[in-house]
Amino acid sequence: MALGILMEKEIRQQPQVLAENADRYFSELKQFLAGKSYDMILLAARGSSDHAALYARYMIEIHLGIPVSLAAPSVITQHNSRIRFPKSLAVGISQSGAAPDVSEVIAYCREQGHDTLAITNTPGSRLTQEAACSVVLGAGEEQSIAATKTYSTSLLALGQLVRAMGADIPAPFLPDQEWLEFSLQVASENSGHIVRCSPIFALGRGYSYCTAVETALKLMECALIPAKSYSIADFHHGPKALANPATACILYGEVPDDLRATGATVIEAPKADKGVWAPLWNIQFGQWLSLLASRARGLNPDQAQNLKKVTETL
């Protein structure tokens, strides 16, 4: 059996899963949010879900003008702080719905009288019990350690949340099988660089920043490759000093003029001209790249070293 066979299967399921659930996400969120307004949106998440929250932050602040805070759960769970949030919508994002710290943040916000929303792939989970409303991703069971289809469906649900709140953005443009195969082809052409170079930098900005962060995580957890993500702007404020011919930079977006002069291998992700929905498309390149790199190193990402499918922290 090929290494990472479950991860590959779940990567390939994404176009169908996204298409099947897009309209439902929007209708459920539209019903929940009818007639409501907020002074702030609080997003609570960990791991890949936290990267999806980064996408939501850009979407909300750009298209709705509402400030967003990414929760630091330990402020509540470890330091017992009583935060005075303004009128807020608190959104907990957890694929398993079992993250205790995320659930604690949502429970606290509900206790304080704020609206609360869970986005999860697991009906009946603790997070759904704490939140006033839940959107269940409906991605089907995800067996590989690496989040793939639950990550992309989280992105889609959050994008639909922004639409349901009144943002003037188009209905989702969803990746298809042709794009999936094209992303695989480009990843195959570049996976050798990923295995040979160290460290790897994943770079993006704006909507693409979440994709860079998620790609770096996938390379670490699947292929055990040292990888670090930065916004392209922040990369120029110090980390670029590490770029040299032994390193590689994965670019989601335009390549800075002076990056090639460092001697680093520059890997340009295939560009999906889909506006705000581009992260749904671009992450498939990062997922393929991580799977292929893990196979090249003889590793099985379905049973990632030192990791479990469900991680519980407080």
pLDDT at 76 over 70: yes
Q: What percent of the chain has pLDDT over 90?
A: 86
Average pLDDT, the chain: 94
The model's confidence at residue 75, banded by pLDDT at 50, 70 and 90, is: confident
pLDDT tens sequence across 45-71? 999 999 999 999 999 999 999 999 998
Tokens of 148: 């793939």
pLDDT tens sequence across 7-17? 999 999 999 99
The model's confidence at residue 313, banded by pLDDT at 50, 70 and 90, is: low
Say what angle helices 209-223 and 278-296 make with each other, to 10 degrees.
Answer: 20
pLDDT tens sequence across 261-308? 999 999 999 998 899 999 999 999 999 999 999 999 999 998 866 555
Name the CATH topology of 177-298: Rossmann fold (3.40.50)
What local confidence, expressed as pLDDT, does residue 308 receive? 56
pLDDT tens sequence across 229-258? 999 999 989 898 899 999 999 999 999 889
Terminal alpha carbon distance of the chain: 37
pLDDT at 310 over 60: no
Tokens of 54: 């980064």
pLDDT at 1 over 80: no
Measured CA to CA, the distance from residue 16 to residue 232 in angstroms comes to 32
3-state SS, one letter per residue, for the chain: CCCCHHHHHHHHCHHHHHHHHHHHHHHHHHHHHCCCCCCEEEEEECHHHHHHHHHHHHHHHHHCCCCEEECCCHHHHCCCCCCCCCCEEEEEECCCCCCHHHHHHHHHHHHCCCEEEEEECCCCCHHHHHCCEEEECCCCCCCCCCCCHHHHHHHHHHHHHHHHCCCCCCCCCCCCHHHHHHHHHHHHHHHHHHHHCCCEEEEECHHHHHHHHHHHHHHHHHHCCCEEEEEHHHHCCCHHHHCCCCCEEEECCCCCCCCHHHCCEEEECCCCCCHHHHHHHHHHHHHHHHHHHHHHCCCCHHHCCCCCCCCCCC
Which homologous superfamily does the CATH classification assign to the domain defined by 5-164? Answer: Glucose-6-phosphate isomerase like protein; domain 1 (3.40.50.10490)
- According to DSSP, the residues that pair with 227 across neighbouring strands are 200
Which residues of the chain form CATH 3.40.50.10490?
5-164, 177-298
What local confidence, expressed as pLDDT, does residue 130 receive? 97
What local confidence, expressed as pLDDT, does residue 48 receive? 95
Alpha helices per DSSP H over 165-208: 177-196
Q: What is the rounded average pLDDT of the residues 123-147?
A: 95
pLDDT at 117 over 60: yes
Q: What is the rounded average pLDDT of the residues 172-178?
A: 97
Bigger pLDDT: 224 vs 73: 224
